[in-house]
Structure formats: C-alpha cells, structure tokens
Amino acid sequence: MKKSWFLILAGVVLLGCGIASPMRWNIRSIPGSSWEAESFASDGERIYFTATDEQGEPIPYEGGPAFGGMMMQTPLACVSCHGPEGRGGRHTMHMQVMDAPDIRFATLNGEEGEHGGSEGGMEHTQGEYDLDMFRQAVVEGKHPDGEVLSTDMPRWAMSDEDLAALFEYLKSLP
C-alpha cells in the first residue's frame, strides 16, 4: 500500500515539475515526425503549424495563453488555438478556456460566420479582408476597426514575407 502511494506521489511530482509532461515535448524536433520543415507544401503552412521561419527559428511573440505561465516552454503556433483547419472553437489551453475565432479567409472576408456558419462574417471587418488588416491583427493585436483583440491572441514579431506567406495559406483553407 505504501509503495502505491509513493508511486502516485512520485508521478504527481514529476508531472508538476514538467519532467514527464507531454506539454514539454517539442514535436517540431522529433526526427521523422510530420512536423519537419520539408513536409509542408508552403512557407505559410509551415508557419501556421510550427511558428518557425524559413531558417527553422521560432517566430517570437508576446502575450497569448502561455505568456508568463509555467508552461511558457511550450511554443505556440496558429494551430495551437485555431486548429488544423483554421476553424477555431472553444477549447482549454494552459488551464484557460478560450474561444478562438475561425480564421479561414472566407470567414475573415465576411463570407461565412465566425465559426463557419452562414450568419455573416466577422463583425469588425468592412470590405475585403486584406494583408494590412491581417497585419493589424497578427502583429498589433487589433481588429480592422481598431478594437483590441483578446489577450489570448499573441502579438507576433513576424517578417513581412512570413506574414504574407501565412495570409496566403489562410486563403487556401476550405
């Protein structure tokens, strides 16, 4: 009985320290994984899934759900919150419940509702959603009308080339 309690306590301590936590695994560095740079069809897709630039370096950001938390060693990427298809949705990350918006171009451009429905697009967008509006959201953390985005949205220090590549990738999402 004492041995069982010891093993449970040891497991909890290891998880608490982050030693055994799957959140510490950086899947980008696992050889043979589908996250290797050459497995992406475009720079924008690589940025969306890994938040790395052409040299494989992490794209820096401030804020977001991991900012200042004990899980900060786990890098964020767009896919972390918006999902593999860009549709967003409600989920829990780092002990926070967040509602990430649909960022597919059809939604950003006002052709679909915020989470893919047909009730109209993002209420903050007027006219065609363009690269400058995208830059305002991703880099400055603001909607096209100037309203500040949720603090769940990181503010990315992304090059113009990377920003344009990411924007083109979002246009390709169905």
Range scoring the smallest mean pLDDT among 122-126, 141-145, 150-154: 122-126
Whether residues 123 and 143 share a domain: the answer is yes
Residues 134 and 68 in one domain: yes
Q: Using alpha carbons, list the distances in angstroms from residue 80 to 15, 109, 110, 125.
A: 21, 22, 23, 24
pLDDT digits (tens, 9 = 90+) for 45-72: 999 999 999 999 999 999 887 554 444 5
Whole-number Cα distances in Å, 104 to 8, 79, 148: 44, 12, 20
Burial class (CB in 10 A: 0-12, 13-18, 19+), 71: middle
pLDDT of residue 170: 97
For residue 53, give the 3-state DSSP assignment.
coil
Instruction: Note down the domain range covering 106.
Output: 34-172
CA distance 147 to 140: 11
Q: Are residues 164 and 117 in the same domain?
A: yes
Instruction: Look at the chain and report how many structural domains it folds into.
Output: 2
Residue with tokens 């171009």: 105
**Degrees to nearest 5, angle at CA 98 with 44 and 95:** 110
Q: Does the structure show a pLDDT above 80 at 129?
A: yes
Q: Are residues 45 and 19 in the same domain?
A: no
CA distance 170 to 163: 11
Residues 41, 17 share a domain: no
Query: Sign of the CA dihedral 165, 106, 117, 141?
Result: positive
Q: Is the pTM of this model over 0.95?
A: no
